[in-house]
Structure 1
Amino acid sequence: MTEVLAHGISGATDLPIPLSYALIGAAWALTFSFAVLAFAWREPRLNPDSPGVALPGPARIVIDSRLTRALLGAVGLIGAIGVIVVGFAGSQDPADNPVPGLVYIFVWVGVPVASLVVGPVWKVVSPPRTVHRLLRRITGRTPEEGLFRYPGSWGNRPAAVGLFSFVWLELAFPEPGSVLAVTVWFTGYLLVNTAGLVAFGTAWAERGDPLEVYSSLLARLSPLARGRDRTIVLRWPLNNLAGTPALLGSVAVAATLLGSTAFDSFSMFTSWRNLLIEVGGDSTLITTLLRTAGLLGFIAVVGGIFILATRATGGLTREQRASLPIRLAHSLTPIVAGYIVAHYLTFLVEKGQATLILCADPFQRGWNIAGLADLDVQYILSNHPSVLATIKVIAVLAGHILGVAAAHDRCLRLLPPRHRLTGQLALMVTMVGFTFTGLYLLFEA
């Protein structure tokens, strides 16, 4: 991948304390949090229907205004058209073309991070949804109505496939920084998901669109949510998270997001790079196959361990035990969010600035749109490694502790009283393991 697309900064030198201390502290933090939950949190407390605190009337009016949503949808559609035009007609050198940065940084990282703060951003700016709204006005169909009924057995599986296609492009494709490759993927995304909306209505966007599913998943941790009367309220994020639909494919989505991010860190290890050179040599095909196998391996390990851990309980029938991974999959969302923030923070803040500067002259004609070419990248995080390292540790720990809390509350609802504590032990150990692994990969990559 080109330098512009290299993720974050490397090394344990970012960490103001020894890595071993951070790992031990993380393990104790999670163990202590689980102990507190086990002995002080003995009844389910999280309620996705809690009333919350309503936003002031003017704020609600502006946010829910048809004009606001139409403008945001138009911005998303115009931006998507711009990406396609610049991608195909602009320079094919990623050092001069902003398209790879726009997709990798702003769409893949920026939108989910924004969703953590203000709710499901992609649902509002989604180009496929905007095109679908225009088409339904012509046909007279309701948004929910499609040509076919969305199969319930699909769940989030189409979204998982779409997410994997993106992380494969980013982490296994021979030229992930290729302007053409990124543009082709983005164009394919637009075509497939617009067709999905036409075929299945908004059910496709909510369950099958990879970017919307990703954005909406992290939006469950936003303090903003819809009340029962559909008004926007401020609410404890874990209450919002508890309302995450339990759908087939939910574990696959979470495992793809978490496993691919872990593999991205692992791919920086010298031992992995040496293996690619020794086994793959000059063969692009073999190297691509090795990277694909590594990516699939990380995703499979994350998903497999989680499934085994959630099922490691007694007092339930086989069918009830089989449903536990799906019903507990929401507890991985905070872990995904914490690790993504830690892993991509520098990428978003600093490489994002470099991408904006490239937007000043997307066709290399001497333009200076909005004066962007006069800007310089401010390395506000890289120049403060101790602060950056602290943010990374806090993000990972906060994500894992919130994940433990979400899992614990759900287990209190699902497990019989005699197994409520012991039935969570395997999951707690798994989350401690995720913490160890996440911090190790972040600071040793």
Structure 2
Amino acid sequence: MSLCLAVVGLLLLARGVAASNAAVGLGQASRDPLSVPRWLYVATGGVTIGASALLASFVTDRRFVLSIHRRQETLPDAETAYCVAAGALKLLGLVLLALVVYRGLVGPQIPTVNLAVVVVFAGMRAGLTMFAYLVGNPWPALNPWRTVAERLPNGFLDYPERFGRWPAVAGLLALVWVETTTPVTNDPELLAAAVAAYSVLTVAGALAVGVDDWFRNVDPVSVFFAFYGRAAPVSRADGRLRLRLPGMRLVGDDGYGDESGSESADPTWGMDDVAFAVALVWELTYSGFVTTAQGGAFVRALVGVGLPAVVVYGGLFLAGFAAFYGAYVLAARVSADRLRTYREARELAVRFAPALLAIAAGYHLAHYLAFFVSLSPSLLAVLASPLSVPPNPLVLTLPAWVGALNIGFVLGGHLLAIWVAHSTAYRLFPSRLQAIESQYPFVFVMMAYTAISLWLISLPTASPPFLP
């Protein structure tokens, strides 16, 4: 999403090149009738998560738990190679940004062959995001707006610390609003204009309050990649690349990593970070819902009583986010009340929130892997000849069993999240019983998230109604 209209690219809902594909994985999983009742299919996933939590509660050896999430390898020193690679990524980011704007304006206005649409959605929204949590976060180097801003005088104003990362949360929600109410996913010219406008806004903001503060707290695209990057096995700390087990960097109290790619010295998250993590889970759930036949019927019913479509989509997104966020905060309060611990509900909410990133990564992989693979030939074609139209654009048709992998991705993300929560609990509480019991409300919320996601996988897909 380097050239993502961050105003939108971050949250592909489902149209244009992504048409029928923003939730491609969800759709493919349900095109063939399920061999078991849907209620049993969904309940099985929920029970699986619950059973895994019970199994995790039997792992009570603190030294073993600590050894798992602290196990790491320092990769051979290759500072020169790293600097060269970072420099190449900076140049690539600038070139891609220029190409997206240029080709969006003068290229063919056909989404499946226009470089701007294919690169932003297939390359950045799907591919780069998967790379961020499966391998490591390359965005700090690739970010073209940071590359420009850090070479100019900046930091003329002080960023208000009380704002925290709430601007990034608001930005993430705003991206969905813009994306769901405008045809940016199938209109290359509009996409190019949005990318250009976002570029001006981002660079101006970074120059005003300083590069680090802006990209760490305000820019939703940078925060998006930084959060997902926390789940990756590869990170950079103290000038060295380090390799850890997937998801284990989510355990601990060292923040989510700074924009340079290094581990953060910030000791804790805040409720703004909790809200952003919940938003990552909810936006994919929302995207999956509105691209199902049932979701479309629900929207039509509300529009049928006189509500404008944009209000329905916006209200549904905000109400769903509030429900997801409220459920998580309620779990923290229940946990604190049951344990009668000196740790407040807010602290528990903050400390268990990184586990949500594992859930979001599982959702994203289920949501976009098939989409990325099917459009990878088109992506390679436009990158190989960026200034010409691909003669024979190819979109792969994937076998049905690929869609079935989505179930494993969703459950895998939740299983990892439960282990992260389990390890976090043992860092927080001296009593084993407290450590185990503190997880139950959060596991219950995770089970609900799982059941909803698996239910969406089981539904047939359809294009969202009333959208341009």
For the superposition of Structure 1 and Structure 2, which TM-score range results when normalised by the shorter chain? Answer: 0.7 to 0.9
- 1:431 maps to which residue? 446
1:26 aligns with 2:48: no
Using a 3 Å threshold, how does the CA distance of structure 1 residues 328 and 47 change in structure 2: closer, same or farther? farther
CA–CA distance in structure 2, aligned partners of residues 121 and 15 of structure 1: 40
Partner of 2:391, secondary structure, is helix
Residue identity in the other structure for 2:141: V
Q: Secondary structure at the match of 1:444?
A: coil
Alignment CA distance shift 1:56-1:422 (3 Å): closer
How far apart, in 2, do the equivalents of 1:47 and 1:206 lie?
30
Number of equivalences? 422
1:153–1:248 CA contact under 8 A, matched in 2:
no
Quick one: percent identity of the two aligned structures? 24
**Which of these residues, 153, 167, 183, is aligned with residue 192 of structure 2?**
183
Give the Å deviation of 1:226. 2.6
Q: Does 1:94 align with 2:111?
A: yes
| 1:130-157 C-alpha deviation (Å, 9 max, x unpaired) | 102322xxx4xxxxx7223333322221
What's the CA shift string for 1:147-179, capped at 9, x where partnerless? 233333222212222222222233344664232
Superposed, 1:26-425 pairs within 5 Å as: 26-41=45-60, 43=62, 45-46=65-66, 50=70, 52-57=72-77, 60-61=78-79, 63-65=81-83, 67-135=84-152, 139=153, 146-173=155-182, 176-198=185-207, 199-227=209-237, 229-242=238-251, 243-245=254-256, 246-280=269-303, 286-313=308-335, 314=337, 315=339, 320-357=344-381, 367=388, 372-374=390-392, 376-379=394-397, 382=398, 384-389=399-404, 391-415=405-429, 417=431, 419-425=434-440
What is the TM-score normalised by the length of structure 2? 0.81
Aligned residue identity for 2:452: T
Separation of aligned partners in 1, 2:360 and 2:343:
27
Task: After superposition, give the CA deviation of every residue in 1:15-48 in whole Å (9 maximum; x if it has no partner).
Answer: 8753445434322321222112212135373589
Distance in 1, Cα, partners of 2:179 & 2:199: 18
Equivalent pair of 2:165/2:273 in contact (CA under 8 Å) = yes
For residues 319 and 41 of structure 1, the distance between their equivalents in structure 2, rounded to whole angstroms, comes to 21
Return closer, same or farther for 1:112/1:360 CA change in 2, 3 Å cut-off: closer
Question: Could you tell me how far apart the structure 2 residues matched to 1:161 and 1:47 are?
Answer: 38
SS at match of 1:53: strand
Structure 1 residues 42, 428: CA separation in 2 closer, same or farther (over 3 Å shift)?
Answer: farther
The answer on whether the counterparts of 1:411 and 1:424 sit within 8 Å (CA) in structure 2 is: yes
1:175 and 1:194 map into 2 onto residues whose CA distance is: 21
Q: Note the alpha carbon deviations across 1:253-275, whole angstroms, 9 max, x for none.
A: 12222212111111123343234
Measure how far apart 1:375 and its partner are: 5.6
Equivalent position amino acid for 1:395 in 2: F
Long gaps (5+) in structure 2: 1-13, 257-268, 461-468
Q: Distance in 2 between matches of 1:48 and 1:42?
A: 11
d(CA) in 2 for partners of 1:441, 1:147? 47
> What's the CA shift for 1:322?
2.2
Change (3 A) 1:14 1:205: farther
Unaligned segments of structure 1, at least 5 residues: 140-144
Aligned residue type for 1:401: L
3-state SS in 1 of match to 2:308: helix
Q: Distance in 2 between matches of 1:287 and 1:361?
A: 39
Tell me by how many angstroms 1:214 deviates. 1.3
- TM norm structure 1: 0.85
Q: Name the SS of the counterpart of 1:244 in structure 2.
A: coil
CA distance 1:119–1:271, change in 2 (3 Å)? closer
1:411 Cα deviation (Å)? Answer: 2.4
User: Residues 31 and 317 (structure 1 numbering): CA distance in 2 closer, same or farther, change over 3 Å?
Assistant: closer
* SS in structure 1 at match of 2:344: helix
Answer whether contact 1:90 1:362 (CA < 8 A) is retained.
Answer: no
Q: Which moved more, 1:5-14 or 1:251-260?
A: 5-14
Counterparts in 2 of 1:301 and 1:182: CA distance versus 1, 3 Å: farther
Secondary structure of 1:312's partner? helix
**What does the per-residue CA deviation read over 1:183-203, in whole Å, with 9 as the maximum and x for residues that have no partner?**
333223322322232222313
Structure 2: distance between partners of 1:281 and 1:354: 39
- Specify the alignment match of 1:443 in structure 2: 458
Deviations 1:60-111 (A, max 9, x none): 235422x321121011011111111222333444355332332222222222
Query: CA–CA distance in 2 between the matches of 1:171 and 1:352?
Result: 24
Contact 2:53 2:418 in 1 (8 A): yes
**Cα separation, 1, equivalents of 2:39 and 2:331:** 25
**Contact kept? 2:328, 2:349, Cα under 8 Å:** yes
Note the C-alpha offset of 1:401: 0.9
Alpha-carbon distance, 1:336 to partner: 0.2
Inter-partner Cα distance in structure 1 for 2:87 and 2:383: 24
Deviations 1:326-368 (A, max 9, x none): 22211100000000110111211113433554567777xxx35
Say what the alpha-carbon RMSD is for the aligned residues: 3.0
In structure 2, relative to structure 1, the CA distance for the partners of 1:301 and 1:86 (3 Å cut) is same
1:142 matched residue in structure 2 = none
Letter in 1 for 2:140: K
